[in-house]
Chains A and B, each alone.
Chain A
Amino acid sequence: MKPVFNYAAAALGLMGLGLTSCQPDIDDPKSSAGQADFTTYLAVGNSLTAGFSDNGLYLEGQQNSYPSILAQQFAKVGGGAFVQPLFPAANSNGSGYLSITGFSTSGTPTLGPVAPNAGVGIGADNSTPLLVKYTGTDNQNLGVPGIRVADVTTPGYGYNNPSGFNPYFERLLAGPSALFSYQQYVEERVTTLKPTFFTNWLGNNDVLGYATSGGTAPLTGVALFTTKYTAITDVLTAGGAKGLLATIPNVVNVPFFTTVPTANVIGLINNTPIPTALEPAIKAALGLPQSSPLPTGLRFGFYITTGTGAKRLATSSDLLLLTAQAAINVPSTNPLQPFPSGVGLEIPGAPAATAAQLAATSNALDSRFVLDAAEVTSVQNRTAELNTVITNVANQKGLALFDSNTFFRGVATNGLVINGVNNTAAFVSGNLFSLDGVHPTPRGYAVIANEMIKAINAKYGAAVPGVDATAYRGVRFPQ
């Protein structure tokens, strides 16, 4: 028996060895800052940088801003504290925002406002509600909702005065800085904080304002944009800081422009039968005797007013704004206008003269609610031009670039599945875009932060870890 015992002991020893050593490890992809230094991070930008969401700036959105998420990840590779101009807990509703109050039987969400916790007062212009001031002196998130690159050198842009001002900038300024332009404010922050790393995501509002106003607000010119964008980036790099620039996403990919599908509206209107009661008025309008039948093929058509003021039939290339939902098919208050808004008559294949006559009699949808095909082209072309400027500046200065335009085009086309959870660019159900149809949800911001981290890692040979975006919320549903 002796040999058995010896061998058995050996075998048992072998087993023990195997059992204790079998937990495998995957080498930590050594987190590192690479050639970047994240000690002091400064974020420059607009509403996206501020954490704007659900058509408002409020505490939860600020806490989940992409700069906040970036800073939290930077902290794992040597980044220091990151201070944001947070609304105090007692004013956590900030500017107020939108929430879902319920769903219609067809599943369409109904939205309602969440008011600010307490009124702060109204600005000297008698129209701009003031926001709770930020009283700290160490702000590192310089995101100002609404700001365009065109605005960055405007003195008094945040000064409470009768001719209007930006309340989000106003709340950041105090004392001697009250008259600062945005660029002066950034200069002051750079001088004080001496940032080692920055992000600059300005430019969206230089095209977005045009788009969300249905083409009624101006687009920023390329020359002006180039000058001002370069200047403010120079301020950021003056102290040798490394950083990241981001392009402007093509705004027509966001739910604000895709949730009301033009083709569906056209189909609905085309397929609505003409009520008998309307026939006399139609015949009169067309100059037909009451005894004659309606022209063959006559049906309702969907008419829009273009940016040039022309009335014409809508096509699927025209984009309806989210706000158009409530503006289409509203009965006319004009006794001479028999059609509800957006509706007119159309005879497919009719001669041009007849078609023009029909268009003229239509109750075409106001230009504010539609980005017509020509305007879509304008905004896309300008977006491309401005993105070229941003890309060139990034390349000239050796900065990382987050091509958000390419990224969001991919999301709009393919959706984005993260860890088995489906996300899309759809309104409400897509998780990524908040209730204003333009600004991201916390999950959308987490996704943006991850994409920025990828760009930073690639540019600076860094290994900043990303976040699990599924841990951040999408649209908040009612309870």
Chain B
Amino acid sequence: MTVKSLLLAGGAFLGGTSGALASGFQVYLPSQQSIGMGGVGVGLSMEQAAQFMNPGAMAMLRQNGVQVGASATFARSAFRSANGGEQRELQNTVVTPFNVYASFGPKEGKWRAGVSVYTPYGSQLKYADGWEGRFSLTEITLQSVYVQPTFSYAITDKLSIGAGLMILAYGSVNLQRDIALPSPYPEGHITLDGTTETAFGVNAGIFFKPSDKLSVGVSYRSKIDAKAKGGDVTVTGLPDPNTTITGALLAPRFVGNKFDATLPLPASVNIGLGIMPNDKLTIGLDVNWTQWSEYRALRFDFTKDGAPASVGDLTRTFSESKRNYEDALTFRLGGQYKVTDKLALRLGGAYDMTPVKDGYVTPETPDNDRIIGTAGIGYDITENLGVDASFMFQAILKRTQTEAQLLDNGTTDRVAGTYRTNISIPGIGVRYNF
């Protein structure tokens, strides 16, 4: 499962009762070292984060080690409605994804075992009050923690394989949107809040290093169905059903107080190439292919006391919103130059193709192709202890969707307009090898 798919999972819950949902901000942040190099690493065996990017490469690591890193994502978004009007911006929030990797193995042994904990998605978007898309989404908060035990084995000194058990150990979501109520009542508000069940997947890879100057890797992360069961549905701002006619009329529409949702987190295939022209320079080239086409719709089933119940729509007890994503490719290129034995400078870039088709863009994922630039620096304070700093900048290209596109695709549960988003992600990490 790719980080991207985890983001998707987050997005799933965004739906709101109208079904609008999104994938949140996708931030592929394997480790501070990898981030500095544009996120490459499938074809490299540089660091402990191999267990995430390519478990097959872990057996080639020569040292036991523990590394910890954290990033801060600053997302800034702008939206302008198709009908004109002022530019709407997000209220500023910061989220802090982190990563922990540790691996152990005999010094000259053929095998290596590791464990990692990472937060592949996590997003907090809060749109400005009164923005045009408030009936799709006003606010989303996503959190996730993944744990992955991994085992890797070197079949020869040039070829190694590895596999990890991906565990979705913790996932939570909080989605909010406004509800249009009949005049003279002000808008109501609905919050979906839930946690996911523990879910499992496999992360496996092969790593081949025919020479000191060249290495290649392939990894596969399986599809996981992330399920949220019994999440809370909270509706506020409805007129009193006991004292008002309209309240009594609306009450049967808002009966459900729990929701279930399942989201397919698509599989990905990752191919990487590593080139080491000399002792000082390492260049990586990765391609990620993610089977986003698994993500066809976001559905919420509503219940009260275990029985299906309406939320918002009298005629049904669920909401469904089309996604119809397409498989997407990400291309990454990055390198590291060891200025001295202790100091490494890193630079990278990526082009991340959007899985979201025209007419399917949601406020939760104001997505488009992304251009990503990264830089990083690493310094070995002692032989065992090193620190890494990274910076990533993502420009989500300007994306406009029209009323006509929404109408053509039957996706009018979202808004027509133009989105543009920039994300800045500084981060810092510490590694200790022994």
Contact = CB atoms under 8 A, between A and B. Distances in A.
Binding between chains A and B:
yes
Interface of A: 3-4, 7-8, 11, 14-15, 18-19, 22-26, 28-29, 31, 102-103, 107, 414, 417, 419-422, 450, 463-471, 473-479
A150 B45 CA distance: 86
A244 to B, nearest CB: 18
B136 A420 contact: yes
B81 A468 contact: yes
Interface string B361-387: 000000000000001110100000000
B182 A417 contact: no
Most B-side CB within 10 Å, residue of A31, A417, A465: A417
Contacts of A28: 80, 87
Contact of A29 (B80, B239, B416): B80
B415 A24 contact: no
B84 to A, nearest CB: 3
Contacts of A464: 84
B15 to A, nearest CB: 12
Contacts of B262: none
A292 to B, nearest CB: 48
Interface string B28-70: 0000000000000000000000000000000000000000000
Contacts of B421: 24
A476 B74 CA distance: 42
A419 B412 CA distance: 8
B381 to A, nearest CB: 9
A477 B182 contact: yes
16 contacts: A3-B340, A11-B377, A14-B375, A23-B78, A24-B76, A26-B398, A419-B136, A419-B416, A420-B415, A464-B84, A466-B83, A468-B132, A473-B183, A475-B182, A477-B183, A477-B185
A8 B340 CA distance: 15
Contacts of A463: 84
Given A22-B76, A22-B424, A7 B183 contact: no
Interface string B386-401: 0001010101001000
Contacts of B184: 473, 476-477, 479
B269 interface: no
Contact of B182 (A7, A11, A469, A476): A476
Contact of A477 (B85, B136, B249): B249
Contacts, number: 137
B156 interface: no
Given A474-B182, A478-B246, A465 B85 contact: yes
Interface string B12-28: 00000010100000000
B315 to A, nearest CB: 12
Contacts of B339: 3
B356 interface: no
B245 interface: yes
A363 to B, nearest CB: 35
A15 B398 CA distance: 23
A8 B389 contact: yes
Interface of B: 18, 20, 74, 76-81, 83-85, 87, 89, 130, 132-136, 180, 182-185, 239, 244-246, 249, 339-340, 342-343, 345, 375-377, 379, 389, 391, 393, 395, 398, 406-407, 412-416, 418-424, 426
B379 A4 contact: yes
A24 B393 CA distance: 12
A8 B376 CA distance: 10
B413 to A, nearest CB: 5
A31 B84 contact: yes
B180 A421 contact: yes
B88 to A, nearest CB: 10
A470 B187 CA distance: 11
Nearest to B248: A103
A422 B79 CA distance: 21
A22 B391 contact: no
Contacts of B182: 474-477
Going nearest first, the 5 A-B pairs with the smallest beta carbon separation are: A465-B84, A417-B412, A466-B83, A473-B183, A420-B135
A28 B376 CA distance: 35
Given A466-B83, A471-B130, 6 more contacts: A18-B424, A24-B77, A420-B415, A466-B84, A477-B184, A479-B184
A470 B391 contact: no
B245 A103 contact: yes
A167 to B, nearest CB: 28
A188 B180 CA distance: 44
Contacts of B134: 419
Nearest to A31: B84
Contact of A468 (B79, B83, B418): B83
Nearest to B244: A479
A26 B80 contact: yes
A7 B345 contact: yes
Contacts of B239: 479
Q: Which of A15, A103, A467 has the most CB of B within 10 A?
A: A15
Contacts of B418: 26
Given A473-B184, A475-B183, A419 B77 contact: no
A419 B132 contact: yes
Contact of A466 (B79, B85, B419): B85
A80 B398 CA distance: 34
B135 A421 contact: yes
A103 B343 CA distance: 76
B274 to A, nearest CB: 24
A420 B257 CA distance: 22
Contacts of B423: 22
A449 to B, nearest CB: 10
A456 to B, nearest CB: 13
B80 A4 contact: no
A88 B119 CA distance: 62
Contacts of A417: 406-407, 412-413
Task: Find the residue from A18, A26, A419, A468 having the highest chain B CB count within 10 A.
Answer: A419
A292 B377 CA distance: 105
A26 B417 CA distance: 11
A467 B83 contact: yes
Nearest to B389: A11
A11 B339 CA distance: 15
Contacts of B393: 18, 22
Given A22-B74, A26-B420, A479-B244, A465 B83 contact: yes
Nearest to B137: A420
Contacts of B342: 4
A7, A421, A467: residue with the most chain B Cβ atoms closer than 10 Å? A421
B424 A3 contact: no
B257 to A, nearest CB: 23
B426 A15 contact: yes
B135 A419 contact: yes
A479 B377 contact: no
Contacts of A471: 130
